[in-house]
């Protein structure tokens, strides 16, 4: 069974800060109940979770290329949403029928979807410019189906290898989609003034997933192949 059960709130995770019981009921109680029912029925649960439970630290510094591994303990507690997701991940470790996939900043080729990371940041007045691990759904969702066929369980960092910054994504957007597109940056201190809860920024180590699926593309390669090339609106330079 596949589950995308979870509440992030609308318009964003700040909603969870003022709706804590609702967030717990879905992200913790609901997910555990589903895992338990699947176990009773002898079913493996493919749980699309989140990797937004880490933040860069002294051992995993921004730009170092050292990502958090599956066995690392979550260190990001800035948002209530992330707290609940870290909590349920720890509890799910006790279920031998669960495969937890840590998704981050999901991107798809459907640029009309308001939940698409690219669509969201292209509409922001200002964006931070921080490298992050991200998930290209067009490539990784078929892999999750194969994972179920292989009866894989445990935790997997479910992102493409490597990192990409907000500016790099928007530069590709300008190159392939809209040559007139512009944007403005601001820093984390400035961002903090317009949001309620801090946001997670991190790099996840994908060695485990890459070992199982060696054909997995790096984040930048996957962005071009699965998202920007299919949506190309600007002519190819001669």
Decide if 235 is inside a domain: no
- Reported as a single tens digit per residue, the pLDDT across 177-190 is 999 999 999 988 88
Query: Which domain does 17 fall in, by range?
Result: 2-228
Asked whether residue 237 is domain-assigned, the answer is no
- The residue that leads in pLDDT, 61 or 234, is 61
Predicted confidence (pLDDT) at residue 238 exceeds the cutoff of 70: no
Tell me if 27 sits within 8 A of 7, measured CB to CB: yes
How does pLDDT run across 64-115, given as a tens digit for each residue? 999 999 999 999 989 999 999 999 999 999 999 999 999 999 999 999 998 8
Whether residue 140 is contained in a domain is answered as yes
Domain-located, residue 236: no
Q: Which residues pair with 101 in a beta bridge?
A: 48, 156
CB 121 within 8 A of CB 127: yes
**Length, in residues, of the chain:** 238
Domains contained in the chain, number: 1
> How confident is residue 131, by pLDDT bands cut at 50, 70 and 90?
very high
Is 90 exceeded by the pLDDT of residue 145? yes
Does residue 17 sit within a domain? yes
pLDDT tens-digit map of 40-59: 999 999 999 999 999 999 99
Fill in the DSSP letter of residue 203: -
Is 238 inside any structural domain? Answer: no
Please report the pLDDT score of residue 237 as a whole number.
59
Q: Is residue 127 part of a domain?
A: yes
Q: Where are the beta strands (DSSP E) in 10-80?
A: 45-48
Residue 236 confidence (pLDDT):
64
pTM: 0.93
Q: Is residue 49 part of a domain?
A: yes
CATH code (residue 126): 3.40.50.720
């Amino acid at each position: 069974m596949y589950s995308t059960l979870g509440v992030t709130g609308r318009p964003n995770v700040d909603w969870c800060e003022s709706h804590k019981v609702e967030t717990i009921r879905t992200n913790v109680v609901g997910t555990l109940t589903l895992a338990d029912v699947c176990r009773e029925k002898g079913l493996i649960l493919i749980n699309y979770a989140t990797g937004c439970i880490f933040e860069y630290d002294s051992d995993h510094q921004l730009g170092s290329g050292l990502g958090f591994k599956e066995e690392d303990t979550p260190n990001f507690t800035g948002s209530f949403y992330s707290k609940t997701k870290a909590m349920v991940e720890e509890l799910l470790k006790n279920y031998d029928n669960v495969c937890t996939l840590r998704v981050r900043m999901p991107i798809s080729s459907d640029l009309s979807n308001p939940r698409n990371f690219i669509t969201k940041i292209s509409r922001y007045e200002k964006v931070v410019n921080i490298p992050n691990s991200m998930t290209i759904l067009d490539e990784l969702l078929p892999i999750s189906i194969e994972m179920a066929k292989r009866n894989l369980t445990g935790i997997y960092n479910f992102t493409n290898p490597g990192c990409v910054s907000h500016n790099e994504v928007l530069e590709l957007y300008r190159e392939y989609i809209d040559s007139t597109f512009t944007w403005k940056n601001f820093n984390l201190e400035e961002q903090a003034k317009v949001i309620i809860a801090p946001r997670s920024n991190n790099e996840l180590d994908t060695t485990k997933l890459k070992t199982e699926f060696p054909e997995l593309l790096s984040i930048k390669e996957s962005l071009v192949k699965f998202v920007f090339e299919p949506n190309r609106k600007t002519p190819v330079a001669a």
